[in-house]
Amino acid sequence: MQEIRFHGRGGQGAVTSAELIAIAAINKGQSAQAFPSFGPERRGAPVVAFCRVDDKKINIRAKVYDPDVVIVLDPGLLTLLDPTEGMKEGGFLIINTKKTPEEFAESVNPDIRIATVDADKIAFEELGRVIVNTTLIGAFIKATGIISIEDIKEPLLERFGAKLGAKNMKALERAYKEVVIKG
C-alpha cells in the first residue's frame, strides 16, 4: 500500500489532489481512498489531506501517520511543521519551492528522497493563478510512478471541464518535466 499525506492551506487544492489521485487509481483497477483533516474551514488555514492506493482492498480508515509520500503545497508551512514526521524510509518528500533538493538535504533524514518544483511559477504561468494542486500532481507522478499522466487525464478533465482541464493538464505536464529529484 502507498500512503500519501498532503500539507497545504485552505484553497490550494490539497483535498482535490488527494481525490484526483484516488479516482485515477480506482479507474485503473486499484483500491484507493482520499479524505481531508482540518479544523474550522477557511481559506488560508493549514489543511492536511490523505490518500491511500493499493492493489487490494483497503480496510484502514485512520489518518496516514507513516506516509510513503508527503506533498507540501505551501513551502511556508515548513517553518510550522515537520512534514517528514513518520515518513517511511525511502519515502518521497515533494515540495513546492524555488529551492533545489540539495538545499533541504541537511534538514531532512538522508533516507528520504526529495523532489522540488516551482509549482507557484508554473501554476501562475499556465493557469493565471497560484493554485498548485494539479501542478504538484505532475511532480508526484514523475517521482513515484504510482499513477501515470494518462491515468490522471480523465479524472482531471471531468473535475475541471475541457477548457480549465486542458490548462491544468499543461501545468501538470510542465511540473512532470521540471521537477528536480534527489535520491
Whether this model's pTM surpasses 0.85: yes
Give residues with Cβ within 8 angstroms of 176, minimum separation 6. Answer: 138, 139, 141, 142, 149
How many structural domains is the chain composed of? 1
CATH number of the domain residue 57 falls in: 3.40.920.10
In whole angstroms, what is the distance from residue 101 CA to residue 16 CA? 25
- Residue 171 reports pLDDT greater than 80: yes
Encode pLDDT of 25-77 as tens digits: 999 999 999 998 866 556 677 889 999 999 999 999 889 999 999 999 999 89
Asked which of 75-84, 113-122, 139-148 is least confident by mean pLDDT, the reply is 75-84
Residue of 112, 96, 103, 71 lying closest to 175 (CA atoms): 96
**Rounded Cα–Cα distance for residues 32 and 167 (Å):** 26
Which structural domain, as residue segments, surrounds residue 177? 2-182
- Cell numbers describing residue 73: 503545497
Average pLDDT of 167-178?
Answer: 97
